[in-house]
Amino acid sequence: MVIDMKILGIESSCDETAAAVVEDGKTVLSNIVASQIDEHKLYGGVVPEIASRRHCENIHTVVTGALIEADCTLNDIDAIAVTYAPGLIGALLVGVSFAKGLAMDTGLPLVPVHHISGHIAANYISNPRLKPPYMALVVSGGHSHIIEVLDYTKYRIVGRTRDDAAGECFDKVARTIGYPYPGGKSIDDASKRGNPEAYTLPHPHVAGSEYDFSFSGLKTAVINLVHNSLQKGEQLNYDDLCASFQKTISEILVSNTIKAAADSGYKTIAVSGGVSANSGLKKLLSDECRKCGFEFFCPEFKYCGDNGAMIASQGYFDFLSGKRADESLNALPTLPITEV
Ligand code: KG4
Ligand code: ZN
């Protein structure tokens, strides 16, 4: 194990320009996130061209801020880790180009990090006791995966969504109701005031793939309920609808994950990604884990959504496994975590 290794992590795959300095994969010395949410909110979702432009404008300040907050200069950094896949191509390219420039200028090693590996590593920061192997549920705006984490850099995809990601489903339901982008937090807040038993919603299953998810049927059911009621001039109780939706999507995510862990003989489950901030999902997964005698891990709130610390953390493990990139590194909009 390399001791006191400081990694600068850079993340720009979607609408957060983020950088952090993390020591030995778990001790966060700084974590700076410049969120673009307020601007994308005006359009009801992320506008890729705007995201790229804002990353260009923010990246220098964010990376400099991460070094200052960590009380470091580039001379104290041992390697630069950057998200290179998957994500919005124009957004990813900003972080990748900046990281390549820094690496070439300083001679520091460049470590390419997969965004989902980064979400998984968020748990090593918040829960240093967590060690592979275990079963992970990664739920974000772009991904819903059940992943067997065989080692810090080795994975097997056990289940995935066939259509919408869980976060996307939260965001689309929220938009239909009239809540601002991104909708997960608004639905979570409304759910706390509502009755989760008020509406019975579908629990779609994917025939022949017991661990895969399909959320489009659930999303359409909620959207149709809202539209039909508006056409009839009736007002639904949105707090009840949000609570029922949140309960249903949580039940789907939790039942597949618990089954995947049990069938593979794991007694540890770790959830991460933006949707892991959801209070209903966290409670249900933690309750079910307790019932099954499983250990449950979740990142602290600040490491659930996109951030640079999770990239620096995973960068440490990728560095130790020998992963390196040079100036030919390119950004990739799609890349399975098993092909890193
Ligand atoms: O991981 P993330 O920040 O970005 C991606 O990699 O996609 O995840 C963003 C997603 C959004 O869809 C957002 O609505 C969702 O995470 N989210 C939540 C909550 N907070 C953020 N979903 C449900 N409940 C929340 N409290
Ligand atoms: Zn993410």
C-alpha pair distances (Å), 21 with each of 44, 67, 79, 188: 32, 7, 10, 31
Burial class (CB in 10 A: 0-12, 13-18, 19+), 175: middle
Q: Which two tokens stand for residue 255?
A: 């039942």
Domain limits, the chain: 6-122+303-339, 133-298
Taking the C-alpha atoms of residue 157 and residue 135, their distance in angstroms, rounded to an integer, is: 10
pLDDT at position 218, please? 97
pLDDT at position 2, please? 60
Contact 29, 21 (CB under 8 A): yes
For the chain, report the end-to-end CA distance as a whole number of angstroms: 22
The backbone torsions φ and ψ at residue 101, rounded to the nearest 5 degrees and listed phi first, read -60, -45
Is the CB of 288 within 6 Å of ligand 1? no
Closest protein CA for atom 3 of ligand 1: 305
Is the CB of 273 within 6 Å of ligand 1? yes
Task: Say yes or no: domain 6-122+303-339 is CATH 3.30.420.40.
Answer: yes
Is the CB of 315 within 6 Å of ligand 1? no
**Angle, nearest 10°, between helix axes 166-177 and 184-191?**
70
Is the CB of 170 within 6 Å of ligand 1? yes
Q: In tens digits, what is the pLDDT along the chain, a chain of 340 residues?
A: 567 899 999 999 999 999 999 999 999 999 999 999 999 999 999 999 999 999 999 999 999 999 999 999 999 999 999 999 999 999 999 999 999 999 999 999 999 999 999 999 999 999 999 999 999 999 999 999 999 999 999 999 999 999 999 999 999 999 999 999 999 999 999 999 999 999 999 998 898 999 999 999 999 999 999 999 999 999 999 999 999 999 999 999 999 999 999 999 999 999 999 999 999 999 999 999 999 999 999 999 999 999 999 999 999 999 999 999 999 999 999 999 999 8
Is the CB of 278 within 6 Å of ligand 1? yes
Mutation test residue for ligand 1: of 140, 168, 284, the one with most atoms within 8 Å of CB: 140
Contact 268, 120 (CB under 8 A): no
The CATH class, in words, for 133-298 is alpha beta
Domains 6-122+303-339 and 133-298 share a fold: yes
Closest protein CA for atom 1 of ligand 1: 274
